[in-house]
Amino acid sequence: MANKEIKRIAVFTSGGDAPGMNAAIRATVRNAINNDLHVYGIMRGYEGMINGDIRRLETKDVGNIIHRGGTVLKTARSMRFMTPEGRKQAYENLMFNDIDALVAIGGNGTFTGASVFMQEYPDIPILGVPGTIDNDLFGTDFSIGFDTAVNTAVQAVDKIRDTADSHNRLFFVEVMGRDSGYIALHTAIAGGAGGVLLPEEESSLDDLVKLLKRSAKRAKLFSIVIVAEGNHMGTVYDIARHVEEKIDIYDDIKVSVIGHLQRGGSPSSFDRVLASVLGFTAVDALLEGKSGCMIGIKNNNAHYTPFKDAINNSKTFNKSLLRMAHILAQ
């Protein structure tokens, strides 16, 4: 397809929210206006695209949002967009508003939808911006929201450490990560945890018990184990119950699930800068004729990954970082 002139672009957020999405929206809008483009916001992702909930955005509309968590454009998971009829309605609404190109901020599901949509309607270029706290997208070192989510989890662990130390307790702290252990691994290292359980590593209850007993031998009177929700040993409550049956080192064993606290809150400075760079560069990339890919950051440089690769390829897990985490936990 020959590159067409782009005069109007639309930006939307889809799937799970992530701190920093607003910074990406802001950068997209302001760079679009800087390039004399009309820019529109689609409310509630693909669902809003189907409903025709599309509105013009000006510079003032994205003022005072860079520090806010969540997304001012709202988000949703759209079952209707998974159907040809839903995508057809979305396309007709884009045509009605004379939208020439899209900036899609989200994760795997968002890019899957974009990829299918482009196959059916190739006349609308789409650039993807990685926004997910899981940091599991292939083609980028970091995704928007990850750094903030880790900081939130570490702050919680620091507080839990105080009570664990005071009461000679073992705490199992569950963090988000159904399919990815990035949050858990970074939280464990930064929080000085005594162990970490991840989806990427096969581990057993016996291994965990040995680790905790080894720590107790050096008079460590409390411990914190970080558990990714998608680990292979079961729910955090099952793990705590099994460990309690195996060892009597601690006065008490507690479970703390941080949950959706990790999704909210003001984005870190790192996430604000990352989101600004990605949103800004997405507009430049569209004007340069790029489409059908996710823009990420690799080795501090912009990196473009086709949607099919971002969706289907697995991000290489840093095994050396995991090895370090295990050694430091001893």
Q: Tokens 């957020």 sit at which residue?
A: 13
320-330 pLDDT, tens digit per residue, is 999 999 899 87
pLDDT reported for residue 253: 92
pLDDT reported for residue 205: 87
Beta strands 169-175 and 252-257, pairing class? parallel
Give the mean pLDDT of 188-213: 91
30-40 pLDDT, tens digit per residue, is 999 999 999 99
> Is residue 51 within 8 Å of residue 74, measured between CB atoms?
no
pLDDT reported for residue 2: 46
Full-model pTM: 0.95
pLDDT reported for residue 15: 93
Please name the residues in contact with 112: beta carbons below 8 A apart, sequence gap of 6 or more. 307, 311
pLDDT reported for residue 46: 98
Give the mean pLDDT of 272-297: 98
pLDDT reported for residue 1: 43
Q: How far, in Å, CA of 58 to CA of 160, rounded?
A: 44
234-269 pLDDT, tens digit per residue, is 999 999 999 999 888 888 899 999 999 999 999 999
* Closest among 215, 165, 175 to 197, alpha carbons compared: 175
Torsion sign across C-alpha atoms 159, 160, 161, 162:
positive
- The yes-or-no verdict on residue 296 having pLDDT over 90 is yes
Angle between helix 108-120 and helix 84-96 axes, rounded to 10 deg? 80
pLDDT interval class at 317 (50, 70, 90): confident
pLDDT reported for residue 221: 64
Residues with catalytic roles: 134
pLDDT reported for residue 3: 62
- The yes-or-no verdict on residue 97 having pLDDT over 90 is yes
> What is the identity of the amino acid at 58?
E
* Closest among 94, 121, 283 to 295, alpha carbons compared: 283
Give the mean pLDDT of 280-285: 98
Give the mean pLDDT of 277-286: 98
> Is residue 272 within 8 Å of residue 286, measured between CB atoms?
no
Q: List the structure tokens of 46.
A: 């693909």
Domains and CATH numbers, the chain: 8-145+267-312 (3.40.50.450), 147-263 (3.40.50.460)
pLDDT interval class at 220 (50, 70, 90): low
